[in-house]
Structure 1
Amino acid sequence: MIERGMIPDKAAFISILSACEKPEALELGRSIHAKALETMTVLDTGLSNALLTMYGRCGSIGSAENVFKHIREKSTTSWSALISFHAQNGNVDHAFELFQRMYIDDVKTDIARFVGVLSTCIVESKLGIGRLIHWLLIDSAVEVASVLGNALVSMYGKCRSVTDAKWVFDSLSKIDIVAWTSMLAAYAQHGDSTAVVNLYYEMQSKGVKPDKFVYSLAVAACNTPEMLYDGKNVHACINQSNIEVDLVLANALINMYGKCGSVVSARQVFDNMSERDLFSFNSMIVTHAQFSQGNEALQTFQQMQVEGIEPDRVSYLGVLSASSTLSDLNIGKMFHAMVSNGGFKRDDAVATAFLNMYSKCGSVQCAWRIFQSLLERGIVAWTSIITALADHGHTRRALKLFDLMVDEGIDLNELSFVSVLSACSRAGLIDQALVFFQKTNRANKAAFRSSHFNCMLDLVTRSGRLGEAETFLSVSPYQPGVVDWMTLLSASKICNDVQRGRRAAYYLMELDEDCTAAYLLLANAYAFADASL
C-alpha cells in the first residue's frame, strides 16, 4: 500500500498494528509507529491505544509507557491496558501507582476491571496493596459482584490471608463455582487440608456440582491416614460424576492414596490408567518404598522401562529406598550401574541413597567409598555411615566419625546418636559410651531427647552399674516414666540390690499405683535376697 503511494488511514493503521502484537513483530510495529507519526499530525486516543497495546503485548513496556504519556485524552482502555501490562510483568508497585493516579483523576467508570488485573499478580508481600484496593472499592460504592468478588477471594488467598478471603466469600450475594474454587484454593495455599475438605462437603450440601479442578483440590487435601475415608468419598463422587479421570486427576489419586497409607487403592488406580507418565510411576514407586514393599517397587520400575519412560532422580531415589528394605546387594549394585550410566553419578542425594542402601546390605566398604566421594555430606549421609560402622562392629571408628560430625557443625539426629550408644553397649565399651554421652550432651544439649537418656539408662543397667543408672534418672531433664523406673527395678532384682529396688518401686508406684508388675518384682527381689542369706 505504501509502495504504491497510498496513505493508510486510522482504521488501516489500527488493523496493521493488531497483527504485530507478538514479540517477534516488535520491529515491524515500531516502523508502523514511525510511519503513523509521519502521516498524521496528531495520534488520537484510539490509535494511541492500539500502539500501547501492541508495545505491551510485544513486551516493550517502556515504549508502551511513552505512548501512554503522550495521549492527551486518556480513556479507560488506556489506563486499563498499561496497568495490565505492568501487572503481568510483575511491576505490581508501579501498576498500583497508576491505579492510584487513575482514582485521583476520578476515572471511576470501570474500576472493577482493574482490581481483577491486580489481583492476579499480588503476592504475599503486597497484601497491604490488596487491602487498599479493596478499601477503594468500598469507598467508591462499587458493588462486589461475582467476578470482582472472585478476584478478591483469589487475591487474599494468594496473600495467605484466609480470614479476609472467607469474609469476602461469605459476603457474596451469589456464590458460583468460581467463588467456591477460589475459596478452596485459598485454604489449600494456606495448608489447611481440613478446611478444604469441610468446604468441599458444604459445597456439595448446597447442590453445587464440583468440576475437575475442585475435585483435584479435594483429592490433594486428603493427605494423611486419618483422611483416607474422605479421600475415598471424593473418589467415589468422581466416579459417579461424568467427569473424565484424566492423567492429572489419576496421578493426584495415586498420590492421595499413597499419603493416606492405602497402597492397594493406589495400585488399583495405577493399574486402571489407560495412560501413565513419569509422575504416575514415581508416585507408585515411592508409595511402595514407603511401606517397605521392595519387590513391588522394583517391578514398577521395570514396568516403567518396558513402557519406554525414562527414569529421573526421583525414580532412582524411590527404587533405591525400596531396594534397601530387601538387603539384596546384587540388586543394589545393578541399580548403581544404571544410575552411573544415567548421568546421576554426581548427584549427592542419589549418592546418599546408595550409601544408605549399601549400609543396609552390609557392604560397609562400598558405603565408605561413597561417603568419601560426597561433595556435600548431610545428616542422612553421616547417619548412614555411622550406623553402618556401628552395626558391623566398627564401634571405635563410628565414635571417631561421630566426633568429626559434631566438629563440622552437623546437627545431630536421634538415629545416629542411638546407633553409636547401641554399638558401645554391644561391644562392652561402657566407659567410652559415658564419655561420648557427656561430651555430646555439653556440645548439643538442645538436640537431646528423652530417648537418648533412655538409651544410656538401658546401657548402664545392662552392665550392672546401677548407681550410674540411678544418677541418670535423677539428672535427666525429662521426667522419668514407668518404663524407666521399671528398667531400674528389674536390674536391681537381677543384681540383688534390694534397697535400690525399693526406691525404684516407690517412684514407680507414685506414677502408677496399680502397677502389679512393680509389686511382683519387688517381692521377688526380697525373696531372692532372703534366699541368698
Structure 2
Amino acid sequence: MQFAPLRQWNSLIQSTVRDSYFLEALNIYSSLLKSGVHGDYLTFPFVLKACARLGLLLVGREVHCHVIGLGVQSDVFVQTSLLDMYSKCSSLTEARQLFDQMPVKTVVSWNSIIHAYAKEFNTMESIRIFNEMHSRDVTPTLSTCVGLVSGCSGSALDLRRGQSVHCYGIKLAFSSDLRFCNSLMGMYVRSDLINSARSLFDSLNEKSAVTYSTIIGGYAKHGDYFQVFNLFTEMRLQQIALDAIVFISLISCCSLFGSLCTASSVFSLLIQSGFDCKPSVAAAVVNMYVKCGDINAARKVFDSFMDKDIILWTSMIGGYVQAGLARTAIGLFKDLMSTGLQPNRITIITVLSACADLGSLYFAKQIRGHLNAVGLKSDLQIQTSLIHMYCKCGSVEKAKEIFDSLSYRDLAAWSSMINCYAFHGKGEDAIFLFKEMLKDRSIKPDALVFTDIIAACSHSGLIEEGVKFFISMQQDYGIEANAAHYSCIVDLLSRAGFFESALEFIRIVPLGSSSQLWTPFLSALRSNCSVPYSNTMLKYSLECKDVSTGNHILLAGISSSLGRWKEATDFRILMNKKGMPKEAGWSRTDIFI
C-alpha cells in the first residue's frame, strides 16, 4: 500500500509532462515532497524533462540532489534524463562531467552530449564524440545527425564537416526526413549558401513552418525583399501555420528597405495572426517603424504593452537615439529604472550613446551612477562606451581616467581613446597612444583606427605623420583606403594650405567626384579665401554632379568672401532649384536648478 500513493503521483506527473504542462508537473512534484512521499526512478525522468523544457537549471540541480539522496543515480534512464536536462539548460560543464561518469551510455546519452556541444557551435568536440560513439559500435540515429548539423556555425571548416554529415545522412537514408533537411538548410543559410539551401528546399515534397521560416530567414539575411515576400505568399497559400520567426524575417525586410506602407501591412497581419502579444516580436516591430521613419507609430506599439521586457524597452530607447531624440531616450531610460526592471548591456550602451549625442556631462553623470546598481561597471564594452561619451561631452580627462583604469584593452577601447584625442585636436597624444597600441601584438589595427589617427594628424597640423600613416595602412597592414581615409588626407593637406596637392589628390583617387572629398577642401579654402583658387572652385561647381547642400553653402560663402556677389547669389538660387534647403542652426544650453 505504501507504493500506491507514489504510483498515483507518478501517473499524474507523467500525464502533465506528456501534455506539455511542465510548470504544473513541477508543482505536482513539489506537492509530492510536501506530502512526505519520495520519488523513484520512474518519477525523476519526467520531472527532469519539465526542468529541461522550462530551462530551470537551479531546480534541475535540486532534483539531482534528490536523486543522489534516494540512491537512484545509477539508473541509466535517470542518468540520461539528468544529462539531457543539463544539456538543454546550457550547462555544458555539468553535462560533460555527468556523461564521463556514466558507466553505461545509451544512444540517447551520446545524442544528448552531441546536442549540448552543438548548442555552443563546438563542432570539433561534437565530431570527436561522434567518432568515439562510432568506434564503440553505437549506431547513430537521426537525432545524432541533426545534432551534428545544427552545431555548424557557418565557418568554412564547419561547412565541410556539415557537408560530410549530409553525405553520411544520405547513406543512412535520412535525406527524406524533414527534421534533418531543415537542419541542413539552416546550416547552408548560416554559411551564406542561399542557393544550396533553396535547392534543398525545392527538392522537398513536404514542408513545415520551420522549413519556410529557415529559407525566408536566409533570404532576409541577404536582403532579398522579393524572395522573402514571394515565399511568404506561397506559405500562406499552402495554409502552413505562421510563426513568430517568419514575422521577424518580414519585419527585418521592412526595416532594411524602409517601406512604411509594407511595414503597416505586415503589422496588421501580425495582429490578425495573434503574434502582437509577444514582447520579442513587438521589439522587432518597434525597430521596423523606427527604420521606416515613423517614431510615433513605434511608440504606440511600445505603449500598447503592459508587460514590457528589457528588449522592448531597449528597442524603444534605441529608436529615439536613431531618430535624433537623445533627451527623450534618456527620459525613457529613467522611466525604465523606476519599474525595477534590470537594464542589460545593450540598454546601457544605447543610453550612453544618447548622452554622447547630447554632449551633456550632467546626464552622463546620472547614467554612470546606475552602472554600480546594475552590476555592469567593469564591463569592457560599457567602459569603451563611457570613453566615447566623455569624449563627446568634452571631458578628455574623464575619458583618459576610464581608459587608464582598464585592466584589458581591446581594439575598440584603444580606438575610442585615440578618437577622443583626435576629436579634441590632441594629435601628438593620439600618435603616442597609437604607437603604444602597436606594441601589443594581439591587437591588429583596422580601417577605423587609421581613420582616427590620420584625422588626429590633420587637426594638429602633423602633415608628414598623417601621410606616413596613410601609406603604412596600405603597405604594412594591407588595409584598402576608403572614402573616409581619402577625405582625411584632403583635409590634412587643405588645412595646411597645400591646395594644389589636395586638388591633385582629389583628381587621382577613385572617388574624385564625390562631394565627401570636396567638403574639407572647400572648408579650408573658405578659411583662407585664396583668390588663385576661385576659378578652380567655380569650375568644380559647374562640373561636379555630386554636390551636397553643405558644399553649395561653402561655395556661396567663398564667393561672398571674394566679393563675387553675383556668383554667391547664383549658388543660393541653384540650391533652391535643386530643392536643397539649408538646415537651421541650433544650440543647446543645459540649465540646472
Is TM (by shorter chain) over 0.5? yes
Corresponding position: 1:154 with 2:178? no
Corresponding position: 1:119 with 2:119? no
Q: Which deviates further from its counterpart, 261-270 or 477-486?
A: 477-486
Superposed CA offset, 1:235-269 (max 9, x none): 11012234452223223322443455543332221
1:452 aligned to which of 477, 485, 509: 485
Structure 1 position 228, deviation (Å) = 5.0
**Are the counterparts in 1 of residues 188 and 196 from structure 2 also a CA contact under 8 Å?**
no
Question: Mapping of 1:361-510 within 5 angstroms?
Answer: 361-392=393-424, 394-398=426-430, 400-402=432-434, 404-405=436-437, 410-411=445-446, 413=448, 415-417=451-453, 419-424=455-460, 429=461, 433-445=462-474, 446=479, 448-461=481-494, 464-469=497-502, 472-473=505-506, 478=510, 480-481=512-513, 495=530, 497=532
Change (3 A) 1:261 1:116: farther
Structure 2: distance between partners of 1:242 and 1:343: 36
**Are the counterparts in 2 of residues 395 and 420 from structure 1 also a CA contact under 8 Å?**
yes
Alignment partner, residue 269 of structure 2: 237
Structure 1 position 342, deviation (Å) = 4.2
Change (3 A) 1:172 1:29: farther
Question: Mapping of 1:118-197 within 5 angstroms?
Answer: 118-122=145-149, 123-124=151-152, 125=158, 126-136=161-171, 144=176, 148-158=177-187, 160=189, 162-184=194-216, 194=225, 195-197=227-229
**Unmatched tracts of structure 1, length 5 or more:** 4-14, 34-50, 69-79, 105-110, 521-526, 529-533
Change (3 A) 1:99 1:230: farther
Alignment partner, residue 321 of structure 1: 353
Structure 1: distance between partners of 2:200 and 2:299: 41
Change (3 A) 1:27 1:371: closer
Alignment partner, residue 531 of structure 1: none
Residue identity matched to 1:267: R
Structure 2: distance between partners of 1:118 and 1:463: 65
Structure 2: distance between partners of 1:86 and 1:267: 44
**Are the counterparts in 2 of residues 327 and 361 from structure 1 also a CA contact under 8 Å?**
yes
Structure 1 position 303, deviation (Å) = 1.0
Structure 2: distance between partners of 1:398 and 1:143: 58
Alignment partner, residue 7 of structure 1: none
How many pairs does the alignment contain? 452
Structure 2: distance between partners of 1:468 and 1:176: 63
TM-score by length of 2: 0.62
Alignment partner, residue 279 of structure 2: 247
Structure 1: distance between partners of 2:426 and 2:229: 51
Question: Mapping of 1:200-349 within 5 angstroms?
Answer: 200-220=232-252, 222-226=254-258, 229-243=261-275, 245-349=277-381
TM-score by length of 1: 0.68
Structure 1 position 322, deviation (Å) = 0.4
Structure 2: distance between partners of 1:251 and 1:163: 30
Q: Which deviates further from its counterpart, 218-227 or 59-68?
A: 59-68
CA RMSD of aligned residues (A): 4.7
Change (3 A) 1:434 1:135: same
Change (3 A) 1:315 1:224: same
Superposed CA offset, 1:316-338 (max 9, x none): 22111101222222121222233
Structure 1: distance between partners of 2:147 and 2:439: 49
1:56 aligned to which of 53, 56, 80: 80
Q: Give the match's secondary structure for 1:280.
A: helix
Residue identity matched to 1:167: S
**Are the counterparts in 2 of residues 154 and 186 from structure 1 also a CA contact under 8 Å?**
no
**Are the counterparts in 2 of residues 55 and 63 from structure 1 also a CA contact under 8 Å?**
no
Structure 1: distance between partners of 2:340 and 2:518: 59
Structure 1 position 52, deviation (Å) = 5.3
Structure 2: distance between partners of 1:89 and 1:356: 39
Structure 1: distance between partners of 2:79 and 2:42: 10
**Are the counterparts in 2 of residues 65 and 82 from structure 1 also a CA contact under 8 Å?**
no
Structure 1 position 85, deviation (Å) = 4.9
Structure 1 position 442, deviation (Å) = 3.4
Structure 2: distance between partners of 1:317 and 1:209: 37
**Are the counterparts in 2 of residues 386 and 416 from structure 1 also a CA contact under 8 Å?**
yes
Structure 1 position 308, deviation (Å) = 1.6
**Are the counterparts in 1 of residues 349 and 382 from structure 2 also a CA contact under 8 Å?**
yes
Question: Mapping of 1:4-19 within 5 angstroms?
Answer: 17-19=41-43
**Unmatched tracts of structure 2, length 5 or more:** 4-38, 49-63, 84-97, 118-125, 153-157, 546-551, 557-562, 565-593
